[in-house]
Structure 1
């Protein structure tokens, strides 16, 4: 029996959830920007309490490893590792984009491909392409989108684009096989927990000491103004 606390801070949404054997027991989500650092630990403690368990009864801690917001990922992973060290529990890391794909995979036939997108900079997105069974077709990457993006795949089968990075790609990707979801799909600890249950069963754990977020590209900060 696996009792897992899951954390997702890869975007502006801060979410935590508790799953037992793949069944969600409790979840809390904040859609307020910059709430991660101040509220995350409290959210985790409250959600575990709401689920009817204690922190010591957890079997593992799962976290969205990225890609996504550099700062958000750093906060989420640091918090998850802190719980692992304090409670002596294993760490499970889940790809944020794959967890997004998990949310929609059951709504499309097998001949469709899924392309979750997280907004990066300008016309760049973090994205991957998977089948509806979550088998990888294209590896996770930071990609600048233009009219030629994914053209070889779009010529053969439909691709569903979704996530906050997909909205800005509608004009560039105009192929008849390009399908854009009208409902927002955001990363969530709920889907992190479902995937983490499978990883737990397969003992796919991270090294808590050396694990780092999947930033995908180097952090670019704002340059200080010259006086």
Structure 2
């Protein structure tokens, strides 16, 4: 019976869940700016207690590894690694876009088209990939600038559902009749449960000492607008 603590911090949503054998039994999440640093450990404690467990009863820690927000991923992964060290538990890393696609399929089990999760990057850029309805990866994860021709080859053949916080800003340019959009939140640790359980069963664990988030792009430090105006 695999009891797994799951952490998702790749976007503005701070989300924690506990699963048993691939089924979510408790969760705590909230959306907002700069929540992760202040609330993540509190959410973890609440989710573990709501599951009726203590920390030593957990079998593994799973974390959404990215791509996504540099700061959010860094906080989530460092917290997960700290728990693994303290509790002597294995670390499981779940690809964020795959988790989002799995979440959509769990809510729409009869869907037979393609799934394109999108995480907002900057301007018209998103972190994205394309999966089929069996979660096979069709287009590799990339940072992609979206325009009116994006995904046309696939859209000409079948429906693609676009989802995630990056999809909303693309709706005005992705106007092909086969382009559909889902505004629901799929950046939730609750959608990690089946994937994390499969990884645990296959003993697909990370090296806690060397594991790093999948940032996809290098972090670029920018000056606050107030400082720029003073120069």
With the shorter chain as reference, the TM-score category is over 0.9
Structure 2 unmatched runs, 5+: none
Other-structure match for 1:69: 69
Q: What SS class does the counterpart of residue 185 from structure 1 fall into?
A: coil
Structure 1 unmatched runs, 5+: none
Task: Determine if contact 2:103/2:186 at 8 Å carries over to the other structure.
Answer: no
State the shift of 1:111 in Å: 4.0
- The 2-side partners of 1:119 and 1:162 are apart by 11
Q: What SS class does the counterpart of residue 209 from structure 1 fall into?
A: coil
Q: What SS class does the counterpart of residue 66 from structure 1 fall into?
A: coil
- Asked if 1:196 is matched to 2:178, the reply is no
Task: Determine if contact 2:159/2:180 at 8 Å carries over to the other structure.
Answer: yes
- The 1-side partners of 2:192 and 2:133 are apart by 17
Q: What SS class does the counterpart of residue 119 from structure 2 fall into?
A: strand
Which deviates further from its counterpart, 30-39 or 18-27?
A: 30-39
Other-structure match for 2:80: 80
Other-structure match for 2:167: 166
Which deviations, in whole Å up to 9, do the C-alpha atoms of 1:145-195 show, x marking residues without a partner? Answer: 0111111111111111111111111121111111112x3223011012221
- The 2-side partners of 1:59 and 1:138 are apart by 33
Other-structure match for 2:208: 208
- The 2-side partners of 1:35 and 1:150 are apart by 34
State the shift of 1:130 in Å: 0.2
- The 1-side partners of 2:111 and 2:40 are apart by 37
Q: Counterparts in 2 of 1:139-178, with a 5 A limit?
A: 139-178=140-179
- TM-score, with structure 1 as normaliser: 0.95
Task: Determine if contact 1:164/1:186 at 8 Å carries over to the other structure.
Answer: no
Task: Determine if contact 1:3/1:60 at 8 Å carries over to the other structure.
Answer: yes
- The 2-side partners of 1:208 and 1:108 are apart by 34
Q: What SS class does the counterpart of residue 100 from structure 1 fall into?
A: helix
- The 2-side partners of 1:111 and 1:196 are apart by 23
Which deviates further from its counterpart, 147-156 or 4-13?
A: 147-156
Tell me how large the CA RMSD over aligned residues is: 1.4
Q: Counterparts in 2 of 1:77-156, with a 5 A limit?
A: 77-106=77-106, 107=108, 109=110, 111-156=112-157
Q: How many residues align?
A: 226
Which deviations, in whole Å up to 9, do the C-alpha atoms of 1:3-51 show, x marking residues without a partner? Answer: 0000001111101010010111110012232111111112112211111
Which deviations, in whole Å up to 9, do the C-alpha atoms of 1:90-137 show, x marking residues without a partner? Answer: 000001111111121152656400001111100000111001111110
Would the alpha carbon gap of residues 104 and 186 (structure 1) be closer, same or farther in structure 2, given more than 3 Å must change? closer
- The 2-side partners of 1:185 and 1:157 are apart by 24
Other-structure match for 1:16: 16
